[in-house]
Amino acid sequence: MTDNNQADHPCLPGGLIPLEQWRVPETSVRRTIRSGLRDILDQLKAGIHPDEQAFRSLDDLPTLSERQIQDYAPVPDREELARALLNELEQLRRSGGQSRKTSFLVAPPFSGIAEALRASGRRVIAPPDNLLMPERDITGWWDHQLQDDDWVIPELADFWLRHRSGLGLLRELFARLARDKVGEGIIGCSGWCWKFWTQYLPELHLAPLTPSPLSGDRLTNWLGHLAGERPQGPLTARMTQDGLYVLPAPTGDDERKYSLFTRDLATLARGNPGVALAIWRRTLRARPEDETQQQGEEDAHQDGRQCWVAPLDQLSLPAVPQSSARQSGYLLHALLMHGGLGLGQLELTSGLPGEELRIALSRLERADVVTGDEQEGIFRVQALAYPAVRRYLQSKGYPVDSF
Amino acid sequence: MGDFGIKDALSSITSEALLEALAVIVAASLLILMVQKAVPVLAAKLSGKPRLYLLASVPLFRLLVIVLTIIVVVPILVEPSFENMIAIFGALGLALGFAFKDYANSLIAGIVTLYEMPYRPGDWIEVNGRYGEVRSIGTRAAEIVTLDDTVIVIPHSLLWNTLLANGNDGTDNLMCVAEVFLDPNHDVGRMLGLFRDAIFACPLTKTYQPVLVTVAARETGMCYRLKAYPLEPREQARFISDLTARAAEICGDEGVPMVSYPYLQAQKA
C-alpha cells in the first residue's frame, strides 16, 4: 500500500490505499489562487460568452493524427490493470491488510477500475433489468446472485436509482456486506455513489480501498508506461513553448530540464488517471511554437518517437453552461452518482419533466459536458469536462465525492 | 459661549469650501449607490459562500465610505481643533436628540447590526411575523423579500426590543420542515423509513446535512415532520413542496389517508 508498489504495477502507480488516506495531489499556491479566481470569474461571466463553453485549443499548432494519439497515449490495458488489482488485493489479504472476505474498491469516475473488474475473469454480477424491484423480491435476487464465491460487481452505481423505490437493492447488499456474509467477491464503486450511501447509512464501515492518487511523478511514469517501449525507443514529449521535457520519465542521472507540466496536470485532474489521460491527449502537438529554434535539439531525437505538449493554459476545457436555473446541476449530479443514465431513468432521478430534461441535456451536449451513447441510449459526463463539472456542483452546494 | 462656539467654528466656512465638501459628498454618494446596485447583481450570479460574502460586504463598504467622507469633509469646512469638534458634534447631538430621535435610533442600530450581525444580506429572517430574505441593509433600515416577492422595510431600531429569528445565520444551510398529518392506525416505523427515503431521493436535498423525520400524535392526526436542508436557501419553497408531494405520493401508495384540520372540524360538527 505504499510507493514501493509502483515498480511492481506501473499501470497502478502507488497501489491501493485505504480511502481515508487519499489526498489530492499538491500544487503551487499561485495555481490554486488562479484556479479559484477563474471559477468565480466563470460564474460571473454567465451568459456573456455562451459559445466559449465547449473544448477549444487556444493555440494554432498542428495536433497529432488519431493514429499517433492512439500510439502515444492509448487507452489503458484493462486486463493488465485487472491483474494488478487482483495481485494487490491478494498481497493485502496475505499481509493482513484486508480482513474482510469482500474487497470494496471506491474510485473516482474514469479511473478505469470498473472496466478492469469486468475484464478480471471472475463471474460478473450484472444489475437486474428492473432497478425498482419490489422489496419482497430483493432478498431472493441477492441470494441467487451471491450463492458462489469469486464474483465481482464492477460498478455498484449500476444497481440503484435515486428514487424512493430504487434504494432497496443496495440497502439489502450493504446490510449483508456489513455482516460480511456475502462470500468472496470484489465490488467496485464510484466515489459519488459511495458518498451518497455513506450519508444514507452513516454507520456503514466497509474499510474501502482506493487507487493512490496520481501525483506529478506517478503521472509521468504512468504516461510513459502507456506510451510503452517501441523499437524506435520511448516517447519523448516536450513543451511547445520552452522545450522543457515531460517524457520520458526522469532517471537519477538525468541532465535534462523537466517541466512542471505533469504536476499541474495531476492537480487539474485531482489525481484521476482517466481525466488526466483525456486532457493529456488534447495537449499533444506535432510541432513546437518556434520550429526553427527547436530544430537543433529536435535533430538529436530524430531516432525516437517525439511529440510536443501544449501548456495547460493554452487549452480551454469544456465548462458547464452557467444559468440561474438549476436543471444542469440536477442532471450532472444524477449522471455522476449513477455513472450514466438513460432518459427515463434521468426523469425519475432528477425529477425533471421529459421536455425540460431534453432541453437541458442538449445544452450540456453542445457544451461537450455530456455525451449520449446512441446505441445504449445512455448519457454520461465527459472525462474532459469532469474537473469543471465537479467544481460547478461543489459551488452550487451539491454533495461531491471525496476525490 | 452662548451659541456653544458654533458661530466661531462655522465662521471659517467659505463658498469654495462648501462646494468642495459638496463635491466629496456627491462623489461618495455615487460610489455607495454604484456599489449597492452592482454588487447584488454580481452576487446573484454566484452561489454558496461567495454570494453571501459579497452581499455582506455592501453595508461594510458603505460604512467605510461614510466614515472616510466625514474624515475628509470636516477639515474642509472647519478647522479640526478640539473646541470646534466639541461645538460641531455637540450641536449635531442636540439636533439628532430632539428632531430626529427615531431616525438616529435606527442609524445607531444600523451600525450595531454591522458589528453584531444579527442578520446579513442573504439571511432568512423572521421579524414580527414577517419572513423573508434580507435583500439589503441600509443606513436606517433593512429590506427583506418575502417568499411571495413582497419587499418589507424593517427599521434597524426594531433590533432593540423585538425577537428576531434567523434561519441560516450567515451560512447557506437552512433547515426546512415539511409537515404532513396522517390518519392514525398505520405502521409508524414503516412510514418513518419511507419518508426518510423520500428526503434522500429528492434531488434538492443536501444529503451531507442532517436528515430527520419525527412523528407526534396530535389532535389533528399523526403529525410527521420531514426535516432537511435544501441545496440553496432560496429554494426552500420548492423544496418543501417537493417533500410534501413525495410524502403524499407515499401515503397514496401505502393506503394511509392524509387528514386536514378543516376535515376534522367538519367531522366534529
Task: Give the model confidence (pLDDT) of A294-321 as tens digits.
Answer: 554 554 455 568 899 999 988 888 989 8
- In this predicted structure, the answer to whether residue B264 has a pLDDT above a threshold of 70 is no
Is-contact A252 A309, C-beta < 8 A? no
Question: Based on the domain organization, do A115 and A164 belong to the same domain?
Answer: yes
pLDDT at B24: 92
**Dihedrals phi, psi of A53, to nearest 5 degrees:** -95, -30
Domain boundary among A261, A286, A316: A316
DSSP per-residue letters across A191-253 = HHHHHHHHHHSTT-----EEEPP--HHHHHHHHHHHH---TT-SEEEEETTT--EEESPP-TT
Stronger pLDDT, A54 or B109, i.e. the higher one: B109
pLDDT of A5: 47
CA-based nearest residue to B157, from B123, B114, B206, B107: B107
**Mean pLDDT, rounded, for A142-154:** 91
- The rounded distance, in Å, linking the Cα atoms of A117 and A132 is 25
Q: Give the residue from B46, B64, B99 where a domain finishes.
A: B99
Reported as half-sphere exposure (CB side, CA atoms, 13 A), residue A359 has a value of: 8
Q: Clarify whether residues A303 and A327 are in a common domain.
A: no
Neighbours of A103 (CB within 10 A): 24
For residues A398 and A329, the answer to whether their CB atoms sit within 8 Å is yes
**Helix B188-201 with B236-254: angle, nearest 10 deg:** 140
CA distance A213 to A209: 12
Give the residue numbers in B contacting A (CB under 8 Å), as ranges: 42, 44-48, 50, 172, 194, 197-198, 200-203, 206-208, 231-232, 235, 242, 246, 250
Is residue A341 located within the same domain as residue A296?
A: no
Please name the residues in contact with A84: beta carbons below 8 A apart, sequence gap of 6 or more. A8, A9, A11, A12
Asked if residue B112 is part of any domain, the answer here is: no
Same-domain status, A335 and A310: no
Distance CA A54, CA A317 (A): 7
B200, A162: Cβ pair inside 8 Å?
A: yes
- Is B1 contained in some domain? no
User: Looking at B166, B196, B219, which one is the last position of a domain?
Assistant: B166
Residue recorded with cell 450567515: B170
Assess whether pLDDT exceeds 70 at residue A279.
yes
CA B58 to chain centroid, in Å, comes to: 13
User: Are both A194 and A139 inside the same structural domain?
Assistant: yes
Together in a domain, A122 and A161: yes
Residue B261 lies in a domain: yes
A100: three-class secondary structure by DSSP: coil
Of A164, A330, A396, the CB nearest to B198: A164
Which residues have CB under 8 Å from A150's CB, separation 6+?
A: A122, A123, A184, A185
Tell me whether residues B42 and A349 touch, CB distance under 8 A. no
Chain B contact present for A251, CB below 8 A = no
Residue B49 in domain = yes
Measured between beta carbons, which residues in chain B are less than 8 angstroms from residue A334?
203
CA–CA separation, A357 and A347 (whole Å): 7
Are residue B81 and residue B140 in the same domain, yes or no? no
Same domain membership, residue B86 and residue B41: yes
Q: Are the Cβ atoms of A399 and B207 closer than 8 angstroms?
A: yes
Q: Which of A45-49, A76-80, A82-86, A254-258 has the lowest mean pLDDT?
A: A45-49
Which domain covers residue A239, as residue numbers? Answer: 54-74+214-316
Query: Are residues B159 and B180 both part of a single domain?
Result: no
State residue A290's pLDDT score: 63
Which of A226-240, B150-164, B246-260: highest mean pLDDT? B246-260
Q: How confident is the model at residue B265 (pLDDT cuts 50, 70, 90)?
A: low
Residues B201 and B183 in one domain: yes
- Does A397 contact chain B (CB < 8 Å)? yes
Percent of chain A exceeding pLDDT 90 equals: 58
Q: Among all residues of chain A, which has the CA nearest to that of B232?
A: A397
Structure confidence at residue A4 (pLDDT): 45
User: Which grid cell sits at A242?
Assistant: 520552452
Same domain membership, residue B95 and residue B10: yes
Q: Assess whether A202 and A107 both reside in one domain.
A: yes
Is residue A252 included in any domain, yes or no?
yes
Task: Provide the β-strand partners of residue B228.
Answer: B176
Contacts of A330 in chain B (CB under 8 A): 203
Give how far B173 is from chain A: nearest CA, Å: 9
Average pLDDT of the residues in B172-195: 95
Q: Which of A17-26, A59-68, B109-118, B177-186 has the lowest mean pLDDT?
A: B109-118
Yes or no: say if B265 and B245 are a contact pair by the CB < 8 Å rule: no
> Contact at 8 Å (CB) between A294 and A288?
yes
Q: What is the mean pLDDT of residues A254-258?
A: 83
Mean local confidence (pLDDT), B249-265:
84
Cell of B85: 469638534
Predicted confidence band of residue A53 (pLDDT cuts 50, 70, 90): low
CA A15 vs CA A1, A213, A324: distances in Å? 6, 9, 42
pTM score over 0.90? no
Dump pLDDT digits (tens) for B82-137. Answer: 877 787 778 777 776 776 777 767 777 777 777 778 888 889 999 999 999 998 88
Q: Count of domains in chain B? A: 3
**pLDDT band, very low/low/confident/very high, at A2 (cuts 50, 70, 90):** very low
Say yes or no: B197 and B256 in one domain: yes
Domain that holds residue B222: 176-268
**pLDDT given for residue A40 in this prediction:** 73
Mutate to test the interface with A, among B176, B208, B232 (most CBs of A within 10 A): B208
CB A316 within 8 A of CB A69: no
Can you give the CATH number for the domain in which A119 is found? 3.40.50
pLDDT in tens, B202-231: 999 999 999 999 999 988 889 999 999 999
User: Cβ of A397 and B202 within 8 Å?
Assistant: no
Q: Is A185 helix (H, G, I), strand (E, B) or coil?
A: strand
Domain check: are B213 and B247 in the same one?
A: yes
User: Does residue A61 share a domain with residue A144?
Assistant: no
Chain A residues near residue B198 by CB distance under 8 angstroms: 164
In this predicted structure, the answer to whether residue A385 has a pLDDT above a threshold of 50 is yes
Percentage of chain B with pLDDT > 90? 43
- Residue B95 has φ and ψ, to the nearest 5°, of -60, -45
- Ordered DSSP codes for A297-343: HHHTTTTSEEEEE--GGGEE---PPP-SSSHHHHHHHHHHHHTSEEH
Q: Does residue A58 share a domain with residue A138?
A: no
DSSP state of A183: -
To the nearest 10°, the Cα dihedral for A74, A79, A82, A87?
-110
The reply to whether A312 and A323 lie within a common domain is no
pLDDT in tens, A27-51: 777 777 777 777 777 666 665 555 5
Residue at A32 is within a domain: no
CB contact under 8 Å between B203 and A333, yes or no, is: yes
- For residue A83, being part of any structural domain is answered with no
Same domain assignment for residues B159 and B202: no
Instruction: Tell me: do B152 and B188 sit in the same domain.
Output: no
Res. B3: pLDDT tops 70? no
Q: In what order do the strands lie in the sheet with A245-247?
A: A245-247, A235-239, A305-309, A284-285
Query: Quick one: average pLDDT of A144-169?
Result: 93
Residue A174 has pLDDT above 50, yes or no: yes
- Whether A43 sits inside 8 A of B208 (CB atoms) is no
Q: Looking at residue B125, what is its pLDDT?
A: 94
Specify if B113 maps to a domain. Answer: no
* Residue of A225, A187, A221, A229 lying closest to A204 (CA atoms): A187
Question: Are residue A306 and residue A327 in the same domain, yes or no?
Answer: no
Q: pLDDT grade, residue A368 (50/70/90)?
A: very high
User: Within this chain, do residues B75 and B28 fall inside the same structural domain, yes or no?
Assistant: yes
Quick one: A175 and A112 in the same domain? yes
Residue B160, classified by CB atoms within 10 Å of its CB into exposed (0-12), middle (13-18) or buried (19+), is exposed
What are the cell numbers at B25?
A: 459628498
Has residue B260 got a pLDDT over 60? yes
B145 inside domain: yes
CATH of the domain at A355: 1.10.10.10
Q: How many domains in chain A?
A: 3
User: Residue B197 falls within a domain, yes or no?
Assistant: yes
Chain A residues with beta carbon closer than 8 angstroms to that of B46: 40, 43-44, 395
**Are B193 and B252 in the same domain?**
yes
- Average pLDDT over chain B, rounded to whole? 85
Query: Which of B115, B145, B166 delimits the end of a domain?
Result: B166
Sign, CA torsion A116/A120/A126/A127: negative
Q: What pLDDT does B250 receive?
A: 96
**What's the whole-number mean pLDDT along residues A147-159?**
92
- List, as own/partner pairs, every contact residues B247-250 make where C-beta atoms lie below 8 angstroms and the sequence separation is at least 24, other chains included: B247/B178, B247/B180, B247/B195, B247/B198, B248/B180, B249/B198, B250/A164, B250/B191, B250/B194, B250/B195, B250/B198
A397, B45: Cβ pair inside 8 Å?
no
CATH number of the domain to which B140 belongs: 2.30.30
